[in-house]
Amino acid sequence: MKKNLIIGGVAAIAAAVITKSNIEKSRAIRRDFVKTRHKVLIVGATSAIAQETAKRFAEEGNDLFLVARNEANLNAVADDLRARGANKVETAVLDLNELSEHTGLLEQVTQSLGGLDIALIAHGTLGDQEASQSDFDIARQELKTNFLSIVSLLTLIANQFEAQKSGVIAVVSSVAGDRGRGSNYVYGAAKAGVTTFLQGLRNRLSKAGVTVITIKPGFVDTPMTAHIEKGPLFVGPDVIATGIYQAILNKQDVVYLPVFWFGIMSVIRHIPEGIFKRLSL
């Protein structure tokens, strides 16, 4: 009895020490991160999630380069970030499906900011599954936007970061890529491709000191999901943005946002196929 009490007491003290150590380490990481003025590229900068994430970087006085399709919306976002404290905000209007423009874009970003050390890729579309499964041209366009354009950007950024032996790449994928479902498998297939590509990229670039982060949001209440009936699992883009910022700060590998999606998708991934195919998901 006495021995068990002693062991329990030691375990409690050890847990407290570890917890305190982790908190102190997290605070130290944040202090070091904030002390440095980062040069940040945000692709898909007018999306709700990207806007909220950009606010975190702006408030810390970082240099930002924003890329999006809609010039008016992009300028409005840039003005807001300047007002929030960004040291510098540069912009480029570009349809990311114009893959041949990506090399010039990265050169422009690097020259404008005087370098680059963080890249957040957050563009994409949530297409019409029924239209995609009926017309391959529509499906191909969705795959180009949600997979191929991201691979093109990642290839260029990865090579640059590998050469400089530093940098953080964060990409918004989705829990939809964890398992194919009848309701959105074209979108899910693109996100699964992104997730797998990032796994390989992480394995390759870790040797060069480059961090590659896979962001897997669940249901997010944004203009892109305006047509979907909202349920209790939906969160606002600010919640996802906070998770993204923390993942970049802590140089994590894979993050489910909010974290409860890790448990949900663990269950979904392990449902036997014979049962899963009968479900309406």
* Domain at 265, CATH number: 3.40.50.720
Is pTM beyond 0.75? Reply is: yes
Cα 266 to the center of its chain, rounded Å = 20
pLDDT, tens digit (0-9, with 9 covering 90-100), for 45-97? 999 999 999 999 999 999 999 999 999 999 999 999 999 999 999 999 999 99
Segment 246-262, tens digit of pLDDT? 999 999 999 999 999 99
Q: What is the model's pLDDT at position 24?
A: 62
Residue 13 located in a structural domain: no
Summarize the confidence of residues 187-214 as an average pLDDT.
98
pLDDT at 224: 77
In a domain, 4, yes or no: no
Residue 194 lies in a domain: yes
- Predicted confidence at residue 272, as pLDDT, reads 96
Amino acid letter at 83?
A
30 lies in some domain: no
DSSP output for the chain = -HHHHHHHHHHHHHHHHHHHHHHHHHHHHHHHHHHS--EEEEETTTSHHHHHHHHHHHHTT-EEEEEES-HHHHHHHHHHHHHTT-SEEEEEE--TT-GGGHHHHHHHHHHHHTS--EEEE-------HHHHHH-HHHHHHHHIIIIIHHHHHHHHHHHHHHHHT--EEEEE--GGGSS--TTSHHHHHHHHHHHHHHHHHHHHHGGGT-EEEEEEE--B-SGGGTTSPP-TT-B-HHHHHHHHHHHHHHT-SEEEESTHHHHHHHHHHTS-HHHHTTS--
Which pLDDT score, from 0 to 100, does residue 280 have? 87
| Domain count of the fold of the chain | 1
Give the bridge partners for 235, in sequence order. 220
pLDDT, residue 229, reads 79
CB atoms within 10 A of CB 150: 27
Question: What is the per-residue pLDDT for 69?
Answer: 96
Question: Does residue 26 lie within any of the structural domains?
Answer: no
Indicate the DSSP class of residue 229: P
Question: Domain for residue 5, yes or no?
Answer: no
Residue 22 phi, psi (nearest 5): -65, -40
Nearest to 60 by CA among 46, 75, 81: 81
Quote the pLDDT of residue 67: 98
Q: Determine, yes or no, domain membership for 19.
A: no
**What is the reported pLDDT for 11?**
47
Domain range for 146: 37-276
pLDDT of the residue at 20: 56
> Is 116 part of a structural domain of the chain?
yes
